[in-house]
Structure 1
Amino acid sequence: MTSDFYHPPTLDGHRPGDLVRTRPVFVAQLSQARGAWQVVYVSANSRSEPIAASGIVLIPEAVAAPGTTAILVYCPGFRGLGGVCAPSQLLAIGAEPDTTAIEAALRRGWVVAIPDGEGLGIIGGGPHTFLAARAGGRVALDLARAVYRGANLGVAVAPVVAWGYADGGRAVAAAGELHPWYAPELDLCGIAAGAVASDLAALAPAFNRGEATGLGLAAMVGLSHAYEHLPLRQVLSEDGARAVEQAQHLTAAELLQQFPQPVAHWCRRPEPWNDHWWRRVLAMETLAHTRPGMPLHLYHGGLDTIVPVSAGRRTLIAYRQRGTKVDWHEYDGDHRSTAHWALSDVLARLTEDIANGPVSQPTSASADAEVRPGA
Structure 2
Amino acid sequence: MTDFYAPPLMDSHYHPGQLIRTQAITAPNLADQARAWRIMYVSCDSRGELIPATGTVISATSANVAQPTPIVVYCPSFHGLGGICAPSQQLATGDEPLDQIQAALDREWTVAVPDGENLGITGLGPHTFLAARAAGHVALDLARATQTLPENTGIRAGRAPIVLWGYGDGGRAAVWAAELTPEYAPEIDLRGVAAGAVVSDPGALVSLRGRGPWSALALAGLIGLSRAYHHLPLRHVLTQDGRIVARQAENLSAATLLEQYRQPLEHWCERPDPWNDAIWRFVLTRESRSGAGNPVVPVHLYHGTHDQVVPVESGSGLFTEYRRRGIEVSWREYDANHFRTAIDSTSAVADELTGFLRRPQSAPAPTPPSPRR
Same fold at TM > 0.5: yes
Match of 1:224 in 2: 226
- Contact 1:60–1:106 (8 Å) recurs in 2: yes
Q: CA 1:342–1:359 in 2, change beyond 3 Å: closer, same or farther?
A: farther
Match of 1:367 in 2: none
Match of 1:207 in 2: 209
Amino acid at match of 2:269: C
- Contact 2:68–2:157 (8 Å) recurs in 1: no
**Is there any run of 5+ residues in structure 1 with no aligned partner, and where?**
363-375
Task: Indicate whether 1:112 and 2:111 are aligned.
Answer: yes
Query: Aligned-pair distance for 1:264?
Result: 1.5
C-alpha distance in structure 2 between counterparts of 1:317 and 1:68, whole Å? 36
Match of 1:314 in 2: 317
Match of 1:161 in 2: 163
Task: Indicate whether 1:253 and 2:255 are aligned.
Answer: yes
**What SS does structure 2 have at the residue aligned with 1:56?**
strand
Match of 2:369 in 1: none
Q: CA 1:359–1:199 in 2, change beyond 3 Å: closer, same or farther?
A: farther
**What SS does structure 1 have at the residue aligned with 2:7?**
coil
- Contact 1:206–1:306 (8 Å) recurs in 2: no
Query: Aligned-pair distance for 1:31?
Result: 1.2
Match of 1:326 in 2: 329
Task: Indicate whether 1:352 and 2:351 are aligned.
Answer: no
- Contact 2:70–2:157 (8 Å) recurs in 1: no
- Contact 1:64–1:108 (8 Å) recurs in 2: no
Match of 2:297 among 282, 294, 297: 294
Match of 1:142 in 2: 141
- Contact 2:69–2:157 (8 Å) recurs in 1: no
Match of 1:338 in 2: 341
Percent identical: 50
Q: CA 1:361–1:325 in 2, change beyond 3 Å: closer, same or farther?
A: closer
**What SS does structure 2 have at the residue aligned with 1:306?**
coil
Q: CA 1:64–1:304 in 2, change beyond 3 Å: closer, same or farther?
A: farther
**What SS does structure 2 have at the residue aligned with 1:17?**
coil
Deviates more, 1:240-249 or 1:147-156: 147-156
Q: Deviations over 1:27-80 (max 9, x none)?
A: 111116521111000000000000000011001145797799410100110010
Runs of 4+ residues over 6 Å off in structure 1: 63-68
Match of 1:81 in 2: 81
C-alpha distance in structure 2 between counterparts of 1:68 and 1:295, whole Å? 22
Match of 2:371 in 1: none
**Is there any run of 5+ residues in structure 2 with no aligned partner, and where?**
366-373
- Contact 1:17–1:145 (8 Å) recurs in 2: yes
C-alpha distance in structure 2 between counterparts of 1:361 and 1:312, whole Å? 25
**What SS does structure 2 have at the residue aligned with 1:210?**
coil
Q: CA 1:64–1:358 in 2, change beyond 3 Å: closer, same or farther?
A: farther
Q: CA 1:33–1:170 in 2, change beyond 3 Å: closer, same or farther?
A: farther
Q: Deviations over 1:145-203 (max 9, x none)?
A: 00112224332321101100111011010000110111111101010000012111221
Deviates more, 1:178-187 or 1:30-39: 30-39
Match of 1:130 in 2: 129
- Contact 2:27–2:92 (8 Å) recurs in 1: yes
Instruction: Note the aligned Cα RMSD (angstroms).
Output: 1.8
Amino acid at match of 1:7: A
**What SS does structure 1 have at the residue aligned with 2:280?**
helix
- Contact 1:68–1:355 (8 Å) recurs in 2: no
- Contact 2:73–2:113 (8 Å) recurs in 1: yes
C-alpha distance in structure 1 between counterparts of 2:353 and 2:134, whole Å? 23
**What SS does structure 1 have at the residue aligned with 2:300?**
strand
Deviates more, 1:87-96 or 1:241-250: 87-96
C-alpha distance in structure 2 between counterparts of 1:64 and 1:344, whole Å? 27
Query: Aligned-pair distance for 1:210?
Result: 3.1
C-alpha distance in structure 1 between counterparts of 2:314 and 2:95, whole Å? 31
1:3-14 superposed matches below 5 A = 3-12=2-11, 13-14=13-14
Match of 2:71 in 1: 71
C-alpha distance in structure 2 between counterparts of 1:190 and 1:67, whole Å? 20
**What SS does structure 1 have at the residue aligned with 2:34?**
strand
